[in-house]
């Protein structure tokens, strides 16, 4: 058992060996590139709000960010579009799958920014005159969150765009409701490119830490978004970040997080740290099986649960 409760001294390689054998789950096969993922990959990293980084073996293996991009698209939409973005996308959990073809009844808005409908919309709210400039602003924003220049996998972006039939359906549905005002194909292209950004566990941990530190990147010291924006984003991660598994996640792990089909999970414990786990096999809700196990232990060992009783 890892006795240290100070994240700056936490042994992530020991945690990795302890959880590497937890089995089960299946690698996503929605696009060929994801189907080829290594099921044995397990990378873990954490970054404190003071900027101290800890990383395990394989924390430098790149994967596509997929839905772990959604909190950051929401942040950039709030930053660029202001609080008016909250009139265009809901913030209520759905209890449904990430790609459910469903909008909020009465308003025609996407239910929240952590499901596909919502992320298609928030990506469209980021500043930019056309798809290329909006995608450029998103890549720059994500790079500022990560503290280094990120890049896009062109083949993954293309597969996501070509094979994302449900995303095309959602974009058309939102256009018919008048909630999406850019072209449906353009919205899917921008979202697909955002999902195809390559990150490793370290990058995602810095990104989570930037939210946990109120929008200031603790490694580069750059203010990326305002603290009100970071608070809004982390709140919605807490209620909607793990799709229809969000309730179970908050009870067990108790740390706002976002899961993704590439097996990445990004966590943000406000005022304490950001963390990330990358391991491709997923459970039925699309959450990394080992990622969940690692997050459970991390939360327990570091006392991260949002609703724990204060020690003593
Ligand atoms: N690119 C995936 C999609 O839009 C992301 C889903 C996820 O990671 O949960 O279908």
Round to whole Å and give the CA distance between 192 and 242.
20
Q: Which of 116, 196, 197 has most ligand 1 atoms within 8 Å of its beta carbon, as the pocket-test mutant? A: 116
Q: What is the CATH number of the domain that holds 107?
A: 3.40.710.10
Around Cβ 195, how many Cβ atoms within 10 Å? 30
**Is pLDDT above 90 for 5?**
no
Record the pTM.
Answer: 0.97
Provide the H-helix boundaries in the chain: 12-20, 32-35, 70-81, 85-88, 116-125, 131-146, 154-163, 165-177, 184-195, 201-212, 227-240, 246-252, 289-302
pLDDT digits (tens, 9 = 90+) for 115-134: 999 999 999 999 999 999 99
276: exposed, middle or buried (C-beta count within 10 Å: 0-12, 13-18, 19+)? buried
Reported as type and span, the H/E element at residue 233 is: helix 227-240
pLDDT digits (tens, 9 = 90+) for 164-176: 999 999 999 999 9
Q: 200 lies in a domain?
A: yes
How many domains, the chain?
Answer: 1
Query: pLDDT confidence of 153, banded at 50, 70, 90?
Result: very high
Domain that holds residue 248: 12-302
Q: 26 lies in a domain?
A: yes
Round to whole Å and give the CA distance between 187 and 183.
6
Q: Give me the pLDDT at residue 183, please.
A: 97
Q: 7 lies in a domain?
A: no
Instruction: Name the residue with the closest Cα to ligand 1, atom 4.
Output: 116
Q: 307 lies in a domain?
A: no
Query: pLDDT confidence of 160, banded at 50, 70, 90?
Result: very high
Q: Is 187 helix (H, G, I), strand (E, B) or coil?
A: helix
**Is pLDDT above 90 for 22?**
no
Instruction: Name the residue with the closest Cα to ligand 1, atom 1.
Output: 66
pLDDT digits (tens, 9 = 90+) for 34-60: 999 999 999 999 999 999 999 999 999
Q: 225 lies in a domain?
A: yes
Q: Which of 70, 169, 195 has most ligand 1 atoms within 8 Å of its beta carbon, as the pocket-test mutant? A: 195
Q: 152 lies in a domain?
A: yes
Q: 49 lies in a domain?
A: yes
Around Cβ 283, how many Cβ atoms within 10 Å? 15
Query: pLDDT confidence of 2, banded at 50, 70, 90?
Result: very low
- Pocket, ligand 1, Cβ cutoff 6 A: 30, 66-67, 98-99, 116, 160, 164, 167, 195, 260-261, 286
Instruction: Round the average pLDDT of the chain to a whole number and report it.
Output: 95
Query: pLDDT confidence of 4, banded at 50, 70, 90?
Result: very low
**Is pLDDT above 80 for 1?**
no
């Amino acid at each position: 058992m890892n006795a240290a409760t100070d994240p700056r001294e936490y042994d992530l390689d020991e945690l990795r060996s302890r959880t590497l054998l937890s089995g089960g789950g299946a690698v996503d096969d929605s696009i060929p590139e994801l189907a080829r993922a290594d099921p044995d990959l397990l990378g873990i990293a954490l970054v404190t709000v003071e900027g101290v980084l800890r990383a395990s073996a394989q924390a430098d293996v790149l994967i596509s960010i997929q839905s772990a991009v959604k909190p950051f698209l929401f942040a950039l939409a709030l930053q660029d579009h202001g609080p008016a973005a909250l009139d265009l996308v809901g913030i209520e959990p759905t209890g449904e799958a990430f790609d459910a073809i469903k909008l909020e009844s009465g308003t025609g808005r996407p239910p929240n920014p952590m499901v596909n409908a919502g992320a298609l919309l928030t990506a469209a709210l980021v500043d930019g005159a056309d798809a290329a400039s909006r995608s450029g602003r998103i890549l720059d924003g994500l790079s500022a969150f990560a503290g280094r220049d990120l890049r896009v996998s062109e083949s993954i972006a293309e597969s996501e765009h070509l094979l994302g039939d449900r995303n095309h359906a959602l974009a058309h549905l939102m256009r018919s409701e008048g909630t999406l005002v850019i072209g449906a194909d353009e919205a899917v292209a921008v979202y697909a490119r955002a999902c195809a950004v390559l990150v490793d566990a370290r990058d995602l941990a810095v990104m989570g830490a930037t939210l946990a530190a109120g929008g200031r990147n603790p490694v580069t010291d750059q203010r990326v978004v305002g603290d009100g924006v970071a608070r809004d984003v982390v709140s919605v991660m807490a209620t909607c970040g793990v799709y229809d598994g969000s309730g179970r996640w908050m009870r067990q792990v108790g740390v706002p997080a976002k899961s993704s089909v590439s097996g990445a999970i990004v966590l943000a414990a406000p005022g304490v740290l950001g963390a990330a786990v990358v391991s491709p096999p997923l459970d039925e809700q699309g959450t990394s099986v080992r990622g969940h196990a690692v997050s459970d232990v991390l939360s327990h060992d570091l006392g991260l649960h949002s609703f724990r009783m204060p020690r003593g």
